[in-house]
Structure 1
Amino acid sequence: MLQTLPIRKIIHVDMDAFYASVAQLDNPELKGKAIAVGGGGIRGVISAASYEARKFGVKSAMSGRLAIKLCPELIFVKTDFERYTQISKQIRNIFHDYTDLVEPLSLDEAYLDVTENKIGLPSATLLAKEIRQRIYDEVGLTASAGISINKFIAKVASDYNKPNGQKTVNPEDVIQFLEDLDIRKFYGVGKVTAEKMYRMGIFTGKDLKSKSLEYLNENFGKSGDYFFNVVRGIHHSEVKPNRIRKSLAAERTFSKNLTSEIFMIDKLELIAKEVSKRLLKNKVSGKTITLKIKYSDFSLQTRSKTLPYFVSEQAIILDTAKDLLFQEKLNNSVRLLGISLSNLNTDLKKIKKEDRNAVSVQLKIDF
């Protein structure tokens, strides 16, 4: 049965090089210069890079040592999450002047459903432009935006005219837009999946669309349904103002590799303290405690234990993490430790399931 779905107007706002831009905002002497947030020291890893640094190939998750080789003039600045959070709240206050349907993905990006907005402006394109201008005028930072009929297309579109730009994909243009799209730009297609698709002759959305649901399920498992639907413009996920948190974690990278469990206890205590602090701040608790161990050869190991009750107390988290640490012998010296809690009490809330059988109908509409 054909079901006509209401055309939604979704904006995805993505701040431009947020952490680096904040550093340049707070220190005008850094404007126009290649900077990296984090990454300082022998073992540092970069959290973000300015657009000036990106021209040299510097990017997030890169080691500071490699970054400085690519860009000898690179300036390292410290992370300041308190400041990022402060500015993020300012930006979200602007969002809420237009709609209460705001779903933050992180400190620097969010979805907005403006189908029915507070100022009664019918054009989502003009709304996005106004929101971006207000962010610049009131906060001093630039943002990019994608505008379309669902979250998937809006997120893809927001990356098109970065930095400080926006792109609208109108309802009547959705299918052509997706067919022409490079498979690497599909949200949810990572490097490994893209390489696999290339080997199968899938280079664009049109190539992906030519594959049957059975073929996609056979080759990509649970993601098969997702790929089959999104390439046809079908993505019914609603903008959820209160996203349900699935896990909460903290971790530390060490300046020198640790060779004995004894030396790791103090580190675990600090990490457990931070995790407990975040749990209490978010008013959540969890049952499953996972210890993350990254060795000097960059191999990764996780050890988990599920308790019969929900916890958020530092002492219990630390004791469980220590038990997991001594559970088996270490494979090598350790460069990073992390603790996460999952199976949170937020999981008790029921999440509305999407209607997977609905078929979208293209309509001409003011966008």
Structure 2
Amino acid sequence: MKKKRILVAVLNWGLGHATRCIPLIEALITKGYEPILASDGAALALLKEEFPNLVAEDLPSYNIEYSKSPNLLKWKLFLESPRIIQAIKAEKDHTKLLVEKYNLNGIISDNRLGVHYKHLKNVFITHQLNVLSGNTTWLSSKLHQNYIMKFDECWVPDLPGSKNLSGMLGHMRKTPEKVKYIGPLSRFTKENLPQKYKIMIILSGPEPQRSFLEKILLKEFRTTTEKTLFVRGVLGEHNPIAEADNTNLILKDYILGKELEDMFNSSETVICRSGYTSIMDLSKLEKKAFLIPTPGQFEQEYLAERLENLGIAPYCRQENFKISELKRLKRFSGFRDFRFVTDFSSLFTLFEGK
């Protein structure tokens, strides 16, 4: 019997959208579907590394460039919106070609707004039913919700109700009928391994802010006396940095798969961005963490502040980070796993209709 082909399209904005789709892609394979992968840039490179035996296609890039000044990011995106709209139209046209090329049976789009096809069942994955943008939050949220309504279902990787990870991002006053809460998505499993590292630093997100934070953290940890793993989060061509001259500081460009899971499980404390995928991973692994939101990203700033107020994890602004900030960790509980089991069989019945 021929396997049904499902297009899994992922936004290339940092690596979070790609990594959170890994368990979804694995579930599709386990349930007898044939996933066709699609993205661009580093996100596509990561998916190819994780799934070398699957077909992977390039999608038109949004080419979103991150502002060097965090305060200007919102306005930069606003000015670039005509080009982003053109990219969405281009990926919509490209999706039609992929539907015909692979005789697709369904589409799952993680934040790729133009990847849907009217004659198939289409799913949109997002944790942002509300898109925070300061005093224009009402507008950005409304625009995003309008796009979501073009899809048959919207899967939110969180829990319904007040005990959740995304807060106001993934929860509206009235939940639309097509929204399904599918539970946090993480590629990791918690294991009780011997501690190998006191601290694990893992960087992610768009440039140039990833590099800015890298320089700050390298300066602070150059003379560390604690065993520290520093994962830069760069794939492919990238300017290398000098090797650390401190044997306590181990530098890696990136780590994937089981090795990365083992590194997390053998580390006591994690330092990372407060991106939503990172938060889902920290919850699954039940880690203590220190969060540094990407400057200008309202979503990450909101999540970091919320988690600090809940007593789960401390945070500070990127420019204020000092290694002494880690002393605050002892006052916080760390993350806990919700033990939610995603019912992929039920979710995938959407693709079983005519």
Using the size of structure 1 for normalisation, the TM-score is 0.27
Structure having the larger proportion of residues in strand: 1
Using the size of structure 2 for normalisation, the TM-score is 0.28
